[in-house]
Amino acid sequence: MTPEQAYQQLLQRAKEIAYLGTAQGVLGWDQEVNMPRNGAQWRAEMQSYLSGQLHRKATDPEINDLLAAVEESDLVANPLSDEAVNVREWRREYDRATKLPTEFVERFTRVVVLSQQVWAEARAKADFSIFAPNLGEIIELTKQKAEYLGYEDKPYDALLDGFEPGEKTENVKRVFTALREELAPFLQEIMASSTQPDPSIVEDRDYPVERQRILGEVASAGFGLNYESSRLDVSTHPFSTNLGPGDQRITTRFNPRNFNDSFFSILHETGHALYEQNLPAEHFGTPRGEAASLGIHESQSRTWENLVGRSRAFWAYFFPITRQFFPKTLADVSMEDFYFAVNAVKPGFIRVDADEVTYNLHIMLRFEIEQAIINEGLPVEEIPAMWNTLFKEYLGLDVPDDSKGVLQDVHWSHGMIGYFPTYALGNLYGAQFFAQAKADIPGLEEAFARGEFLPLLDWLRQHIHQHGMRYRAYDLVEVVTGEPLSHEPLMAHLRAKYGELYRL
């Protein structure tokens, strides 16, 4: 077999995997958005069957032979060619998938499935001890997983790599630490300011749901989301999903008294969907047509949610429209009041409710704990104490109980250790890209005030989306901005914006 023939076979296999993957995507979307409740059991069985089919396809030993037939050939001589990128990532996926013995994967899955209910009960009762045995088992299995996967430096690297390919614990630690050293005192300054917003404007007034929905669609369509390839629906937890070229959907949830909840979740999911919509469609189903990493994905959602959607320029354009939608509710509110209200900074216990300033501190705390667990053997029963100590240190609050602390996130009960850092990496990448976009496009933010967002989308398409997985995240940031990932662009953004708002 020639390398070209082997590569064509790999492409065909990738396509079949993509068919099954997007079929699973449709089943998953339907489950969250439409499925009658009595359909749950069969749906779970269908999904499990399709997962098995997918896993079998992804771990077929013939893939190894096909990859071997290409890897040393001229076809992949240029490491930035489509072929080289695909082969590099297929190799990575295949190796990760086959390093774990099948019975280990099955055991891990069983433990995780059983842990869901236990975690939910523990959280409801605010009692970590209920969940501790399950978490202990998950941690032991996760450590074993790291050994199976292998690593050069720290075991945590092997886990991080599953969500942020090639990323290293030490590199994340370097940037996070630098950020925290500036962020924590900056948060203190903000809290001490005598200038404070009135968040009740956006969190406790009447915002009829149907109007919220339309306004969200107006904003997201303005950002460039193509609704001939998308739709907005309601689900318990907001998400975005790519169901094939021309079909990227987003969801939100509505609260008739809270504007922020749905509006910014719509902008957030719009950012994810814009990335997926603007990946090169001709490479759909291959790494060359896929997102570079979870961190880069999150950089896109955070860019549109925060750097655009929470900017003064955006609200200069969008507040008059918003007031047309809610004339009574906002009769006594100025654009400045509203802009300040959607940017209110307030340390709280719950990560998903956190503002732009405090959010990253929530992530750093989890990152520290995960490292302690995986690299330093922190005993499971000591996790709550570490959580509460760090929380006091980073955010200045005493955690009242475990449901508002260590039990709040679903991730660990799903066995997802190593995922959290991608959220903060997203904020960091987003700020660094955005600073570059502003440097490249004079008047970028002024254009927002006129409702013009396509210059930014074009820039993101050209510098980020079009590359798919061509570059690893940490290389992409250097290609695009000329610098490695740094805390400085994010810190500069926060200082400028919140310094002005809070008159520091």
How many CB atoms neighbour CB 281 within 10 A?
12
Which of 5, 45, 188, 446: binder of a copy of itself (CB under 8 A)?
Answer: 45
**Rounded Cα distance, 212 and 363, in Å:** 30
Spatial contact of 235 and 253, defined as CB atoms under 8 Å apart: yes
- CA–CA distances in Å: residue 29 to residues 34, 68, 121, 374, 504: 8, 37, 26, 33, 45
Per CB under 8 A, 57 contacts a copy of itself: no
> Could you confirm whether 269 is annotated as catalytic?
yes
130 DSSP 8-state letter:
H
247 near a copy of itself, rule: CB under 8 A: yes
Instruction: Count, in order, helices (H) and strands (E) of the chain.
Output: 21, 3
User: How many residues at the interface with a copy of itself, by CB under 8 A?
Assistant: 35
Site string for a copy of itself, 474-503 (x = CB under 8 A): ------------------------------
Min dist CB 25 to a copy of itself, Å, is: 10
Rounded to the nearest whole angstrom, what is the least distance from the CB of residue 16 to a copy of itself in the complex? Answer: 7
Among 145, 180, 249, 302, binds a copy of itself (CB under 8 A): 249
DSSP state of 255: B
Smaller CB separation from a copy of itself, 36 or 61: 36
Among 1, 5, 8, 42, binds a copy of itself (CB under 8 A): 42
Least Å from the CB of residue 417 to a copy of itself: 31
Residues 294-323, one symbol each (x = binds a copy of itself by CB under 8 A, - = not), give ------------------------------
CA distance 14 to 22: 12
Torsion of CA 78, 80, 86, 87, to 10 degrees: 30
Helix 259-278 with 454-463: angle, nearest 10 deg: 50
Length of the chain: 504
* Extended beta strands in 169-217, E state: none
Cα-based torsion angle of the residue sequence 482, 486, 490, 495 in order, rounded to the nearest 10 degrees: -110
A 10 A CB-CB count for 228 gives 7
Binding mask 206-245 for a copy of itself (x = CB under 8 A): --------------------xxxxxx-----------xxx
Tokens of 223: 């950002």
- Shortest distance (Å) from residue 19 CB to a copy of itself: 4
Q: Kindly name the residue from 83, 269, 305, 356 that is annotated as catalytic.
A: 269
Binding pattern to a copy of itself, positions 268-297, x when CB under 8 A? ----------------x-------------
Stretch of 41-49, 83-91, 253-261, 376-384 contacting a copy of itself, by CB under 8 A: 41-49
Distance, in Å, from the CA atom of 41 to the CA atom of 45, rounded to the nearest integer, reads 6
Task: Please give the residues from 7 up to 36 whose contact with a copy of itself meets the rule CB under 8 A.
Answer: 16, 19, 22-23, 26-27, 29-30, 34-36
Pairing label, strands 240-242, 248-252: antiparallel
Closest CA to 112 of 315, 414, 473: 414
Specify the residue, 244 or 396, whose C-beta has the smaller distance to a copy of itself: 244
The minimum distance between CB 20 and a copy of itself, in angstroms, equals 8
Residues assigned a catalytic role? 269
User: In the complex, which residues of this chain contact a copy of itself (CB under 8 A)?
Assistant: 16, 19, 22-23, 26-27, 29-30, 34-43, 45-46, 49-50, 226-231, 243-247, 249, 284
